[in-house]
Structure 1
Amino acid sequence: MSIRKFAIATAAAALAVSASGAAWAQTQVNVALDWAFLSYQAPFTIPVDDGTFADLGLDVTVDRGGGSVDSISKVASGSYDFGHADMYAVAQFNAQNPERPVIGVMLTHDRALVTVTTLKSSGIETPADLAGRTIAAPAGDSSRQLFPVFAELNGLDPSSVSWLDVTADLRETLLIQGSTDAISGQLTTVVPNLLSRGVSADDFTVMAYADYGLNFYGHMVITRPEFAEANPDVVTAFLTGMAHGFNVTYASPEAAYESIVKRDAFLDRDVELSRLELASSGFFTENVLENGLSSPDMEHLQDSLASAAEIFGFDAPDVSTVYDDSYLPARELLQIQQ
């Protein structure tokens, strides 16, 4: 039996048992992505398209989102069962909204891909050069949420930077026009967008937070604690399907593109395959390839949460209030098939 068939059989059996003998109908769940339908979102859509979620007893609807804060708010309100959001944005949200927290149940980005990007003509080459400059980004973007941590690590006063609130579709255009000195965003969004607008890679500078001391994890699949506690088999089945989606994405970037282009027919194949290659540096790290999906170093994770809490001004949370790995499927089902 293949790993996929074993995973489906195991999760489906658990769901059938949880149905307590009643006629087994598919469980409807909805998912709020953190951003638009782009190639790196394929692990969510592939299991919808190839029937894996259905085989696991789930009827899954996946919707686009408007940033980590947007996804977190949708899940916290109960409008969505699952979301995709930055881990540290989750920690901050929970600190500010203790009465309606969310919890991460699968780490999707083993390495954060947040960046600040400038045109070389601006003369900005290091984080310190951003002092007195303007950065454009959507208010809820995780790169903007984490910027104070990035700044502090590099001796830059976060208050020395001015922010320009923009929609995501205008961010790169404003940089090209010279209306902002820099932009912040996900590597997988900013770089492909600049290249697709005719900007040469030789003409812009990308400062990846991870290259400047911010060795943080990235996004997670999130849900409400009460939803997970009431529906543990549903959560595990969903994460089982996600593991399948990641494996297909790793094995066949072309399949990932084909899944996403069904949701947005105007996506450019070459741009999306390039975008997915960038995303893979966060998805399929050496750690993930060796130990499987969602296998963070818990001590490092706790330290990183403490660092974020210090910068954002809230009490350092215990890992268990931000990330709970108890709903993950068996470790062998989380391995990336190489």
Structure 2
Amino acid sequence: MILVLALLAAACGDDEPAATTAAPATTAAPATTAAPDTTAAPDTPAAPTTTAAPTTTAAPTTEAPMEPTVIRVRLNWTADPGFLGLYMADELGFFTEENVVAEFEYGGPNVPHPVQILAGGAADIGFGGLAIIADAVSQGDEFVIFGTRLQEGILGISSLASDPILTASDICGSKIGATPGDIVQLDALLTLNGLEAGCYDMVPVGYDPSPVAEGLVRGQINYMNSHPVILDFMGIDNVAVSYADLGMQMYHDLAFVNRSFLDANRDAMVGFLRAMIKGWEAAFADPDAAIDLMMNKWGGAEIGMDISFQRPVHDAQVPLMTSSLTDEKGLFQMDFDLMASTMWDVLALTGIENLPSAESMIDTSLLDDAFAGCGASLLEC
């Protein structure tokens, strides 16, 4: 696996390993001639009988092993606990077992989203939210969703325990810290709850949850696996409520692929999915080993990540990655009926024009093939 730490959108190389040359066919040994028969009747000049030995059969030609499939994967951030399963899959050789070479390239705060990178042909697989993928497809991109890392949306609202936001109605009339990209889903959440979109006072903020800590806003849109952890580390008594708790059921961090790549490399895609899920199972079993890889092999230490903060972030993401569905069928599973109904109803509220159908965007058959005969665990299969 190839690590690319640059935060600029650069396409991964297209070169593939050179083909292994087949061993030449073994040349048949020449026919062996038997020694002449020297026994003959007395005084009878018998002609010697010469019998040829059977011809030695040529050794079979050795076929070259199948060349591995290179899969270019665009991640949506720098080194992060959200990629621990990928780090472990690489370290434990799971991609190699599937005859796949996975090339990963990091994203970052000033780098185009994976949907843009895939649309431009510089990557084959990406991860992202359902709304942004559906919006790209509505504009002509041909992406297929084949799994989801998070079983519920990662977004929520953080507030101080002394003045908590606990219900959707608490949002209305409050100062809410958010980025411009947060508004569409926040308004959809309010509409789902029978409230008026935009009923709050939006205060532009960045990633840092300090505006909540300092009381500059009553609530701030957060990532449920990190912002509450940061506030805890700051010693701030805080409350975090997820969009799912407020009535918006959405998958997040969905894996998607260019349809043309999937059509041409389906077996390799199943292998990639199987290896990735095995890596996540291994990360769940030994998170400290996975975090060590992130810090010391995959760039975490180089960008100044605080290792003491990473285990709590991982522990916070585990309940987001698991559900009754994953308990029954395994990680990355998707409920198609839930997506086509409840989640598509939410998408309709986001204002996406020409919203594509769920059937045109979702393929659960890769998960079926990856888990075939294995129950809910691939490592134990």
Higher helix share: 1
Range 64-73 or range 242-251, more displaced:
64-73
Corresponding residue number in structure 1 for 2:309: 271
- The answer to whether structure 1 residue 257 and structure 2 residue 295 are counterparts is no
Q: Note if 1:236 corresponds to 2:267.
A: no
Q: 1:244 to 1:144 in 2, by over 3 A?
A: farther
Residue matched to 2:56: none
Residue 172 (1) aligns with residue 213 (2): no
Q: Gaps spanning 5+ residues in structure 1: where?
A: 1-15
Q: Does 2:361 correspond to 1:327?
A: no
* Cα 1:322–1:186 shift into 2, 3 Å: farther
1:148 paired residue number: 187
Distance 1:136 1:101, change over 3 A: farther
Residue among 39, 46, 60 paired with 2:81: 39
Deviates more, 1:123-132 or 1:274-283: 123-132
Match of 2:326 in 1: 288
- Note if 1:117 corresponds to 2:195: no
In structure 2, C-alpha distance between the alignment counterparts of 1:264 and 1:89, rounded to whole Å = 27
Assess, with a 3 A threshold, how the Cα gap between structure 1 residues 125 and 213 changes in structure 2: closer, same or farther. Answer: closer
Shift of 1:167: 4.2
Which digits, 9 at most, give the CA deviation of each residue in 1:77-120, with x for residues without a partner?
A: 2222111112233223322x1x2132211122222232111234
The equivalent residue for 2:235 is 199
Query: Given residue 237 of structure 1, which amino acid in structure 2 is its aligned partner?
Result: G
Question: Normalised by the size of structure 1, how large is the TM-score?
Answer: 0.80
Instruction: State the AA in 1 paired with 2:104.
Output: V
Aligned to 2:31: none
Secondary structure at the counterpart of residue 244 of structure 2: helix
CA distance change for structure 1 residues 37 and 295 in 2, over 3 Å: closer, same or farther?
Answer: same
Going from structure 1 to structure 2, the CA distance change for 1:217 and 1:57 (only over 3 Å counts) comes to same
- Counterparts in 2 of 1:1-338, with a 5 A limit? 24-66=66-108, 70-95=113-138, 97=139, 99-121=140-162, 124-140=165-181, 145-168=184-207, 171-196=208-233, 198-200=234-236, 203-262=237-296, 263-265=299-301, 266-313=304-351, 314-315=353-354, 317-328=356-367, 329-333=370-374, 335-336=376-377
Following superposition, the deviation at residue 69 of structure 1 comes to 7.8
* Alignment correspondent of 1:5: none
SS in 1 for 2:212: helix
The answer on whether the counterparts of 2:71 and 2:103 sit within 8 Å (CA) in structure 1 is: yes
Secondary structure of residue in 1 paired with 2:132: helix
Q: What residue number does 2:26 align with? A: none
Structure with bigger RCO (C-alpha 8 Å, 6+ apart): 1
Secondary structure at 1:65 match in 2: coil
Distance 1:134 1:73 in 2: 32
Tell whether the 8 Å contact from 1:292 to 1:331 is kept in structure 2 after alignment: no
Q: Greater CA radius of gyration, 1 or 2?
A: 2
Contact map agreement 1:134 1:162 (CA 8 A) in 2? yes
Aligned residues: 310
Residue 132 (structure 1) shift: 4.0
Q: Choose 293-302 or 313-322, whichever is displaced more.
A: 313-322
**Identity rate of aligned residues, in percent?**
19
CA distance in 1, matches of 2:101, 2:123: 13
Judge conservation of contact 1:240–1:333 (CA < 8 Å) in 2. Answer: no
> How big is the alpha-carbon RMSD for the aligned residues of Structure 1 and Structure 2?
2.8
Aligned AA (2:246): Y
Does structure 2 conserve the Cα–Cα contact (< 8 Å) formed by 1:89 and 1:145? no
- Partners in 2 of 1:123 and 1:330 — Cα distance? 42
Structure 2: give runs of 5+ residues left out of the alignment: 1-19, 21-62
